[in-house]
Amino acid sequence: MATTQRTKIAKLDMTEIFENHGRSRDNLIPLLQEIQEHLDYLPPEAISRVADHLGLSENDVYGVATFYAQFRFHPPGRHRIKVCQGTACHVRGGGMVLDAISRKIGIVPGETSPDGNFSLERVACFGSCALPPVVVVDDTVYGRMTARKTEKLIEGLE
């Protein structure tokens, strides 16, 4: 999606969202969640408007938002890769799978590749704990992954 299109959508959606939330600082997380639900990430304009709405500085908003792994600050890539780091996946090598993907596509969790093809996220649990380690690509679940299997999967997407 072109940046101008995304910006227009951001303005429309955020107006509606702000109308539904008061100016109490308790609304910070719900506002950020709702904006991200609509836009798939939190663009700088959203951070700025949330700060204005709640009477906070942008640094305050970023400070809270960056504390939570659920918030993204870059538009998602064409292929969204999510790697489970929950306990069951972690003990079966989820960290190595995440490192392998990170090396393969050259980004760390929370980033989108410069060509816009991939974004990488760390997730706490997909609820598929019988198949560790689990990777989800574009809503398809891949279980019992290894670093090598994941690299081949990504090569198939390129």
Q: Which is nearer to ligand FES, 88 or 96 (CB)?
A: 88
CB of residue 92 to ligand FES, shortest distance in Å: 9
Neighbours of 16 (CB within 10 A): 10
CB of residue 146 to ligand FES, shortest distance in Å: 15
By the 10 Å C-beta count (0-12 exposed, 13-18 middle, 19+ buried), 132 is classed as buried
Q: Which is nearer to ligand FES, 42 or 89 (CB)?
A: 89
CB of residue 45 to ligand FES, shortest distance in Å: 34
CB of residue 86 to ligand FES, shortest distance in Å: 3
Please give the single-letter amino acid code of residue 112. Answer: T
Q: Which is nearer to ligand FES, 36 or 85 (CB)?
A: 85
Angle at 101 between CA 95 and CA 107, to 5 degrees: 105
Binding site for ligand FES (CB under 6 A): 84, 86-89, 125-126, 128-129, 132, 134
The Cα 79–Cα 102 span in angstroms is 14
Q: Which is nearer to ligand FES, 100 or 134 (CB)?
A: 134
CA quadruple 21, 112, 100, 109: dihedral sign? negative
The Cα 133–Cα 147 span in angstroms is 10
Q: Which is nearer to ligand FES, 2 or 130 (CB)?
A: 130
CB of residue 129 to ligand FES, shortest distance in Å: 4
Angle at 42 between CA 36 and CA 48, to 5 degrees: 125
